[in-house]
Amino acid sequence: MLAVAVLAAGKGTRMKSALPKVLQPLAGATLVERVLDSARNLNPDRRLLIVGHQAERVEQQLSNVDGLEFVLQQPQNGTGHAVQQLMPALEGFSGELLVLNGDVPLLRAETIDELVSTHRRSGADVTLLTARLDDPTGYGRVFADASGQVSGIIEHRDCSDEQRSNNLTNAGIYCFNWSKLAATLPKLSTDNDQGELYLTDTVAMLDKAMHVEVADPDEVNGINNRKQLAQCEAVLQERLRDHWMNEGVTFVDPSSCTLSEHCSFGRDVVIEPQTHLRGSCSIGDGCRIGPGSMLENASLGKDVSVLLSVVREAQVGDGVAIGPYAHLRPGADIGNQCRIGNFVEVKKSRLDNGSKVNHLSYIGDAQLGQDVNVGAGTITANYDGVNKHQTVIGDSSKTGANSVLVAPVTIGANVTIGAGSTITKNVPDSALALGRAKQLIKENWS
């Protein structure tokens, strides 16, 4: 039997944030979600989350995680105190308890798998993950012999100068024999600089403690402050970009771009500098995105170009050119071979294949057929101050420059709207519609 417990009750004082530390986001997911995810391969029998500071908020964020048990720690008197709170929930449980720090978000699932299997092979009471860090400041120091046997852990602030020179650090990730740990937890004391109950003190009390050193020290980066948050973000971003470069994506200036974990890319996509993809984005083969673009929950077909533009909650077909300076807002649904040009905003509107909105337009709550040509400066006046209304434009129609289409209004197919028109009535197929004052000429007037 295997139980996984994540320590997530701390306030995260050093973050100086209204948000509990474990809810801070990193590449689109919170720290605690990432930590839970790192144990995904193990199929644990139980999953427990120790909550305390802003417990309700943390529970709410994770309410959709199947089978997760919340254990309250109140007040938060240290990591040992946190694990003590598991005793009622794990009464009679036999097997291993994997303890994960909620603020160590870069662990790879394979590393956790290896920790647990090493623990099972060696029959130790506890096996913990360690790393040799160039700068171990702030981390607990692990004292171990050459065979990997650990004699104890001392927190940075409780170390002597000599002890601090040991750079073997505690990652905050432990696989315990639960019954051995449960017998040890009541013996913890607050005899340390912070006056807290330290989980790390159980290691010296158990008979056999072993450690596994990670190959990549970045994996055990803990987050206590904003600087460490930024460092972890940088590590994750590099991992994501490296992954996609291996899959055939070109980044012209990789370090200037950020991705979320829920992005997918086809072959021969080019990501130009200063481009950011958030949420879940899917990008087809041959797209060119950027420079200077932001996509969020966007889906692009093949061979789409997005230049200096923003695309959010929108869907785009194949061969579409977007920008420069276009804004596709939620519900924009663009067919194949369309064109969305400079200073064009599209919201909650469908454009069928081949339609073009090239310059200076607002298209909202509209349905455009195929091969519609929207003239420069055309506006759908969709809002009457209370409600939003629909504009419908049939296939192959053209709107003249500076037309205002006052919704609700339906314009048929093959219609031409004269430049400068304000259209308030429906227009039948194949008509010319003009809605502007007649031009007056007074000759020899000057």
In whole angstroms, what separates CA 251 from the centre of its chain?
A: 20
Closest CB 198 distance from Ca ion, rounded Å: 12
Token pair of 227, please?
């600087």
The interface partner of residue 373, options being Ca ion, ligand UD1, none and the CB cut-off 5 to 8 Å by kind, is none
Closest distance to ligand UD1 from the beta carbon of 114 (Å)? 18
Q: By CB under 5 A, which span of 76-84, 217-225, 345-353, 360-368 interacts with Ca ion?
A: 217-225
Cis peptide preceding 324, ω within 30 of 0: yes
Angle at 67 (CA atoms; ends 63, 71), nearest 5 degrees: 70
Q: What is the CA radius of gyration of the chain?
A: 30
Element holding 35 (H helix, E strand): helix 31-38
Residues 6+ apart with CB under 8 A from 442: none
Please, which residue, 228 or 342, has the CB nearer to ligand UD1? 228
**Does 266 engage in binding with Ca ion (CB under 5 A)?**
no
φ and ψ of 314, to 5 deg: -135, 160
- CA 181 – CA 258 distance, rounded (Å): 42
Number of residues that bind Ca ion (CB under 5 A): 3
Q: Which is nearer to Ca ion, 224 or 402 (CB)?
A: 224
Comparing every residue's Cβ against Ca ion, the nearest one is 222
Q: Give yes or no for residue 222 binding Ca ion (CB under 5 A).
A: yes
Look at residue 182 and give the partner it binds from ligand UD1, Ca ion, none, a contact being a CB closer than 5 to 8 Å depending on partner kind: none
Residue 221 vs 378, nearer CB to ligand UD1: 221
* Residue owning tokens 């020179």: 165
Of 33 and 352, nearer to ligand UD1 (C-beta) is 33
Of residues 227, 240, 247, 242, the one with CA closest to residue 278: 240
Residue 76 site contact among ligand UD1, Ca ion, none (CB < 5 to 8 Å, cut-off depends on kind): ligand UD1
Q: How far is the CB of 14 from Ca ion (least distance, A)?
A: 9
In the complex, the residues that contact ligand UD1 under the rule CB under 6 A are: 7-10, 22, 50, 52, 73, 76-79, 81-82, 101-104, 139-140, 153, 155, 169-172, 198-200, 222, 224
State which residue, 82 or 269, has the beta carbon closest to ligand UD1. 82
Q: Which residues are catalytic?
A: 359
d(CA 322, CA 261): 24
Name which of Ca ion, ligand UD1, none residue 345 binds, using a CB cut-off of 5 to 8 Å depending on partner kind: none
**Residue nearest ligand UD1, Cβ-based:** 140
The vertex-430 CA angle with 426 and 431, nearest 5°, equals 55
Query: What is the closest distance, in whole angstroms, from the C-beta atom of residue 196 to ligand UD1 in the complex?
Result: 7
Q: Could you say whether residue 103 binds Ca ion (CB under 5 A)?
A: yes
> What CA–CA distance (Å, rounded) separates 346 from 151?
64
Q: Least distance (Å) from ligand UD1 to the CB of residue 239?
A: 19
- Our measurement of the distance from residue 371's CA atom to the centroid of its chain's CA atoms, rounded to an integer in Å, reads 37
Q: Give the helix/strand (H/E) hosting 29.
A: strand 29-30
- H or E, element range at 171: strand 168-177
> Which tokens in the block code for residue 315?
């869907």
**Position 196 contacts Ca ion (CB under 5 A):** no
Distance, C-alpha 437 to centroid of its chain:
53
Letter for the amino acid at 27?
A: A
Quick check: 80 and 201 in contact, CB under 8 A? yes
- Cα–Cα distance for residue pair 281/359, rounded to 1 Å: 26
Task: Choose between 108 and 436: whose C-beta lies nearer to ligand UD1.
Answer: 108
Nearer to Ca ion, 100 or 321 (CB): 100
CB of residue 200 to ligand UD1, shortest distance in Å: 5
Nearest distance from C-beta of residue 303 to ligand UD1, angstroms: 45
**Applying CB under 5 A, which residues contact Ca ion?**
103, 222, 224
